[in-house]
């Protein structure tokens, strides 16, 4: 949020080309729009997971979603803010680089981005397995058994015969 606020204020004050504030350019507006859109979505995600926690329904993958999504979003906001501030974006006079460096470490501690991806992914996999169990109709499983079981029995018989020889 600080990076967004800083970039917004800067874009209103900084004038370039015909004494126009850079905020009047659509490319700068697009960056600020992306930032406020994603910040709002991230806040809603946290609010929803907070509600799940209050209801005693929160699960590991929800926490991983927040961490993965919101840190990546915050890092991108910091990068866009740095861009809007031009060369001043890397100067110590503004807070952008401090936040960006901090966020680079947040991406690693309390679970790396990769590990949160694995947690979310493994949960999807469990759900898929669960759904497959539910949707395969029983007659189909019986028919599959009718085909596979004789083949399996024949294989076992021939393996026993080979062992005897």
Ligand X SMILES: Cc1cc2nc3c(=O)[nH]c(=O)nc-3n(C[C@H](O)[C@H](O)[C@H](O)COP(=O)(O)OP(=O)(O)OC[C@H]3O[C@@H](n4cnc5c(N)ncnc54)[C@H](O)[C@@H]3O)c2cc1C
Active-site residues: which are they?
A: 110
Q: Does 122 sit near ligand X (CB under 6 A)? A: no
Q: Does 109 sit near ligand X (CB under 6 A)? A: yes
Q: Give CA angle at 125 (123, 128), nearest 5°.
A: 115
Residue 26 vs 105, nearer CB to ligand X: 105
Out of 48, 115, 120, 123, name the contact with ligand X by CB under 6 A.
115
Which letter, b or e, does each residue of 69-88 get, where b requires 16 or more Cβ atoms within 10 Å of its Cβ? bbbbbbbbbbebbbebbeee
> Going residue by residue from 12 to 41, which x/- string records binding to ligand X, judged by CB under 6 A?
------------------------------
Residue 39 vs 63, nearer CB to ligand X: 63
Q: Does 129 sit near ligand X (CB under 6 A)? A: no
In the bound complex, what is the minimum distance in angstroms from residue 74's beta carbon to ligand X? 15
Contact (CB, 8 A) for 64 and 111 = yes
Q: Does 108 sit near ligand X (CB under 6 A)? A: yes
Q: Does 104 sit near ligand X (CB under 6 A)? A: no
Q: Does 112 sit near ligand X (CB under 6 A)? A: yes
In this structure, how many other beta carbons lie within 10 angstroms of the beta carbon of residue 115?
A: 14
Q: Which of 16, 142, 164 is nearest to 84 (CA)?
A: 16
Which letter, b or e, does each residue of 42-54 get, where b requires 16 or more Cβ atoms within 10 Å of its Cβ? beebeeebeeeee
Which residues here bind ligand X, judged by CB under 6 A? 105, 108-109, 112, 114-115, 118
């Amino acid at each position: 949020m600080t990076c967004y606020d800083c970039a917004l204020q800067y874009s209103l004050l900084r004038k370039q080309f015909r004494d126009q504030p850079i905020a009047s350019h659509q490319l700068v507006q697009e960056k600020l729009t992306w930032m406020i859109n994603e910040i709002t979505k991230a806040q809603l995600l946290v609010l929803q997971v907070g509600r799940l926690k209050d209801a005693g329904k929160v699960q590991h993958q929800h926490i991983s979603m927040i961490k993965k999504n919101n840190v990546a979003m915050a890092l991108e906001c910091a990068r866009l803010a740095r861009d809007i501030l031009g060369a001043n974006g890397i100067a110590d006079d503004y807070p952008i680089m401090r936040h960006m460096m901090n966020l680079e470490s947040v991406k690693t501690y309390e679970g790396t981005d990769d590990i949160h991806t694995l947690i979310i992914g493994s949960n999807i996999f469990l759900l898929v397995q669960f759904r497959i169990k539910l949707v395969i109709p029983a007659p189909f499983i019986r028919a599959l058994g009718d085909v596979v079981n004789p083949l399996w029995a024949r294989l076992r018989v021939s393996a026993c015969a080979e062992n005897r020889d």
